[in-house]
Chains A and B, each alone.
Chain A
Amino acid sequence: MAMRDLVTGGAACAVPGSSSSSNPFGALANALISSSSKTEERLKEIPTSTTTYSDGNVYAGIDEPLTTLPGSEFDRPLQPNVQGAEFFRGFRSADQGRLADVWEEIHNPQLPYSQGRGSLTHLPAIEQTIRPNNQLQPDFDGPPQRVLSSFLHSFVNSNQGGVPFRPTPLPVLGLSEGDKQCIRDRSSIMARHFFADKSEDFINAQVNALLSSLDIDGDIRARGPLPGRFRELEDYWNESQGMMKPGPHAADGWVAEYTQRRVEHGDPNAWAQSFELQHGANGWASEFEHEQSQIASLNQMKGANIANLAAMEQTRMLAHTLAQNNDPKFQNSKFLQFVSKMSRGEIIMEDNQVKPNAVSAPGDWATEYQQQFNGGHAWADQFTHEAITYTISRGPDGWASEFAAKRDQNGSVDDQWVNEFSKLHVQDWAEEFGNQFGEGALGENSADNWANGYDDYLNEQIAAKQRSETSRGVYEFSDMNPYVGHPNPLKEGQELFRKGLLSEAVLALEAEVLKNSDNAEGWRLLGIAHAENDDDQQAIAAMMRAQEVDPTNLEVLLALGVSHTNELEQAAALKYLYSWLRHHPKYGTLARPEMSDSLYYADVAGLFNEAAQMSPEDADVHVVLGVLFNLSREFDKAIASFKTALKLKPRDYSLWNKLGATQANSVQSADAIDAYQQQTSTHAKQGNIEVVVDALRSVLNEDPLIVMLLASQALDLKPNYVRAWANMGISYANQGMYEESIRYYVRALAMNPKADNAWQYLRISLSCASRNDMMQACDSRNLDVLQKEFPL
């Protein structure tokens, strides 16, 4: 949402009144805010609102919207003159007493009604802050405030049962920019407490729903030069978080000092004024920073862990240096993080997806991220703590009023933030965007596409986070494994593998290698099962473990060579294939030890040709040659090699797949499909040798008629070779037969829903086949729907 707004010029995030009608949120904003000038009129029309609050009419203007609020039913039947007390009780009955108190503090304005009009005079600042549009008529703020509080109330309640919080249309609240920012910041933090047991995504969704209902978006932050401001914010954040780390001492100290200051100055206004005098226009940000550093030095004097502080200092420096880096790539990724935060209405560090090659020390960065993340909790905790302290010590007119008072004194704090963070040397993002597309015109549609892309990106990041370990060659075990504790998981795994139940076999074999981590056969079979399940990353990870245990196992070396060839990692593939030769009892003599340092394709291929001449009846040599020719993309030679190998080993189904894959890559897709159908039949019906032999003969003689006949026969069988099905899909897709390809992908996925490649390819085929209606099912990985739609 936020991104789209940025791109389209910011309908929903724009100043009230400037929204474009094409944007739904903009329309909502228009509906709500364009009438803000009418608010007073409307309020004036309410006859009794000026003095008495016991008249129910006061809600006349907002009655209808209120009914749409979840949770508002608590409040509705109450008599207005007891509403304040009831409201507090309502909060407490929600089992969120302490937190709700904080909310109350933030949105204090109920108080005037529970305590009588007199108390209003103590809180002029609040009046002005919360209700800037109504300054001449302070009496009229009741209804909007009540709406707001009900609404926030419902937000707080929404944590029970984890019901997602829906955006709700609200009447005019007349919130100032300051209020919006205040609500945004607080809700982001508090939501993490309310929904402490929920996932991050859920929390973000809740907060976004709240913010969008209140017509709060990244509006203030949306304008101006973003990357630079973010850099500033990050520096500041690092600074405060770094210093916060000493823990409870710092927090207590801060609170204590704060309280002391409060006691000294007594009245909030005076406090705010002196604050203003002492610290000038930089406001509480610099004050906070200042206090933090004081506390830090205090700790240092106490002899607190100096090494720790030094380390923190260093990470802080690192962050600073990183932020200064003008490498556009880096800046872009920061920009991205910022946008992602903005879209959630918060500024806490979340996803540090910084490319390792852009950052000199990725490890440090990760550590620092961890620190910041923990720091975030500490900060939020402290926030709660502090708020509660005030509730107790100062009564209900606690820091909220103080905050408001100070805010009032400072005029527009937001402007100061914006100004402060405007001192930057980075290009405005819009400019940069423009540069990238020097000649491109940004239409409405294109903007939507990019915004969708951004949404995808968020999803992808979550997935990538989970998978990042795998890509580094670390084997990732399944969470729930029923085979753990099985008396003989290896035997079970071999049996399952033989039956073709690959996903089950993977689990059994995982149980085996968990039990005996140096069982090379367990790792090897696990790797093969993954390869056949079309997951090369896991296959490579497992095979590498097998190789660690048994460095000379030929099957393992060949499998590693094949998997790296699949991933187009030529150097690695060559290394393993050469090792295969070197460790082979027969051909090992061919290998020249001086070669292993720098392998050249031509040399390795030459050695294997020698080997093939030595023993032309050895199918394995031809297999390796076929893989090597794939590496050099000499597909005709590769196909010839695999065919030779197949003559020697007709029942090796993996050879059939290799042949098919090679043919597909060499754009003989029609032939490839035949080969796949043959090899699946080979695999499934090992007993039916005649079919296999016939198929072999047909393929070798390239007799398409017989091949097609056998193909339909093969389809009746039930193969479990996921990779073959996925490859079938690829073959069809590469021929432009997208509907067909979809069926094969879905079939492959039904057998192994974890095959990520197949999901990506399925998505592409769906879009090529203009089946956007099924995109949702694909993205949510809903196999039931897909299988129903695309039966095979």
Chain B
Amino acid sequence: MANSTQLKSDALLEQMKLHLSTDAGKEITKKVGLVYQINIAPKKIGFNEEIYVVDLKKGEVKKGPYEGGKPDATFSFTDEDFFKVATGKMNPQIAFMRGAMKVKGSLSAAQKFTPDIFPKPSKM
């Protein structure tokens, strides 16, 4: 199921998928109501990117480019930086200013992309 080169982001987005099926997850769907595409690169933005679509209209997380038209905003991260942003270790604005996050699409949509929408992993 998993191999040793797996991305941290895979784990986070899989958790996101589960999270969206809960009541709290449905709240997020209602609150945000946008479709984000997230391109995650293992080391360097633009190379070997894995594409995820976090559809907060339908409450789904899917692998692969968005098929229902154009996503509201598209983000590009490295794996490490996405992990930091999603777990609240790095603020998305800062990520953007550092060049750790690239954004395409609507700015107002991009601004709703905050660490709040991601569930936090509990630790063993």
Interface residues of A (CB under 8 A from B): 328-333, 336, 353, 355, 357, 436-442, 446, 449-450, 452-454, 456-457, 460, 534, 536, 562, 565-566, 568-571, 574, 598-602, 627, 630-634, 657-658, 660-662, 664-667, 669, 672, 723, 726-727, 730-731, 733-736, 757, 760-761, 763-764, 767-768
- Residues on the B chain within 8 Å of A569, using CB: 8
6 CB-based A-B contacts, threshold 8 Å? A331-B99, A333-B99, A441-B108, A632-B2, A669-B22, A734-B120
Given known contacts A574-B4, A600-B3, A734 and B123 CB-to-CB distance under 8 angstroms: no
**Stretch from B32-40, B55-63, B87-95 that touches the partner:** B87-95
User: Given A439-B106, A441-B107, A667-B18, A566 and B123 touching (CB < 8 A)?
Assistant: yes
- A665 and B115 in contact (CB under 8 A), knowing A453-B94, A453-B97, A460-B91? no
Beta-carbon contact of A436 and B103 below 8 Å:
yes
Contacting pair A661 B124 (CB below 8 A): yes
**Further contacts, 14 of them, CB under 8 A, given A565-B124, A664-B122, A760-B87:** A332-B99, A436-B96, A456-B91, A457-B97, A562-B124, A574-B4, A627-B124, A633-B14, A662-B122, A666-B18, A667-B22, A730-B122, A734-B19, A735-B23
Which of chain B's residues 45-101 have a Cβ closer than 8 Å to chain A?
45, 78, 83, 87-94, 96-100
**B4 and A600 contact, CB distance less than 8 A:** yes
Chain A CB count within 10 A is highest, among B2, B21, B88, B106, for B2
The 8 A-B residue pairs with the shortest CB-CB distance, nearest first, are A440-B107, A453-B93, A332-B99, A736-B24, A661-B122, A664-B122, A568-B8, A760-B88
A328 CA to B44 CA, complexed, in Å? 12
B108 to A329, Cβ gap below 8 A? no
Bound Cα distance from A441 to B123, whole angstroms:
40
Q: Looking at the assembled complex, report how far the CB atom of A629 sits from the nearest CB atom of chain B, in whole angstroms.
A: 10
Residues of chain B within 8 A of A357, CB atoms compared: 43-44, 78
Q: Which of A330, A723, A768 has the most CB of B within 10 A?
A: A768
Q: Which residues of A contact B18 (CB under 8 A)?
A: 666-667
**A residues within 8 A CB of B12?**
568
The winner among A665, A723, A731 for most chain B CB atoms within 10 A is A665
Our pick among A331, A452, A602, A761 for the contact of B1 (Cβ within 8 Å) is: A602
CB distance from B24 to the nearest CB of A (A): 3
* A632→B1 contact, CB < 8 A: yes
Q: Which residues of A contact B5 (CB under 8 A)?
A: 571
Contact present for B88 and A440 (CB under 8 Å): no
- Asked if A734 and B22 sit within 8 Å, CB to CB, the answer is yes
Partner of A571, one of B4, B88, B116, B124: B4
Decide: A661 near B106, CB < 8 A? Known: A453-B94, A601-B4, A760-B89. Answer: no
Pick from B21, B88, B92: contact of A761, CB below 8 A: B88
Q: Which A residues are in CB contact (< 8 Å) with B90?
A: 460
Kindly state the separation between the CA atoms of A764 and B118 in the bound complex, as whole angstroms: 10
B91 engages A437 (CB within 8 Å): no
A460 to B42, CA, bound (A): 24
Q: How far is the CA of A477 from the CA of B5 in the complex (A)?
A: 33
Q: A357-B43, A734-B19, A736-B23 are in contact. Are A449 and B120 (CB under 8 A)?
A: no
Task: Please determine whether B122 and A568 come into contact, CB atoms closer than 8 angstroms.
Answer: no
The reply to whether B122 and A660 form a contact with Cβ atoms under 8 Å apart is: yes
Chain B, Cβ-Cβ closest to A438: B104
User: Which residues on the B side are within 8 Å of A757 (C-beta)?
Assistant: 87
- The answer to whether B124 touches A630 (Cβ under 8 A) is yes
A336 and B92 CA atoms in complex are apart in Å by 15
Please give me the residue from chain A that is nearest to B44 by CB atom: A357
**Contact at B119–A734, with CB atoms within 8 Å?**
yes
Q: What is the minimal beta-carbon distance from B23 to any residue of chain A, in angstroms?
A: 6
Bound CA–CA A600/B5 (angstroms):
9
Instruction: Note all chain A residues with C-beta closer than 8 A to B43.
Output: 357
Q: In the complex, A261 Cα to B85 Cα: how many Å?
A: 58
Q: How far is the CA of A662 from the CA of B15 in the complex (A)?
A: 11
Q: Which residue of B23, B27, B44, B120 has the most chain A CB atoms within 10 A of its CB atom?
A: B120
Q: Could you tell me if B120 and A730 are in contact, using CB atoms closer than 8 angstroms? A: yes
Q: B107 near A446 (CB under 8 angstroms)? A: yes
Q: Which of B4, B104, B105 contacts A570 (CB 8 A)?
A: B4
A330, B100: Cα distance in complex, Å? 10
Pick the contact of B121: A328, A452, A665 (CB < 8 A).
Answer: A665
**Contact partner, A568, options B89, B120, B121, Cβ 8 Å:** B121
Give complex CA distance A336, B23 in Å. Answer: 40
Q: Closest CB-CB distance, B29 to chain A, in whole Å?
A: 12
A727 CA to B119 CA, complexed, in Å: 12
Contact pick for B123, options A634, A669, A723, CB 8 Å: A723
Q: How far is the CB of B4 from chain A (nearest CB, A)?
A: 5
Q: How far is the CB of B31 from chain A (nearest CB, A)?
A: 10
In the assembly, what is the distance between CA of A328 and CA of B78, in Å?
A: 14
CA A441 to CA B4, docked complex, whole Å: 42
> What CA separation (Å) do A438 and B92 show in the bound complex?
18
**Nearest-Cβ distance from residue B95 to partner chain A, whole angstroms:** 9
Q: Whole-angstrom distance between the alpha carbons of A644 and B111 in the complex?
A: 45
Q: Chain B residues with Cβ under 8 A from A632's Cβ?
A: 1-2
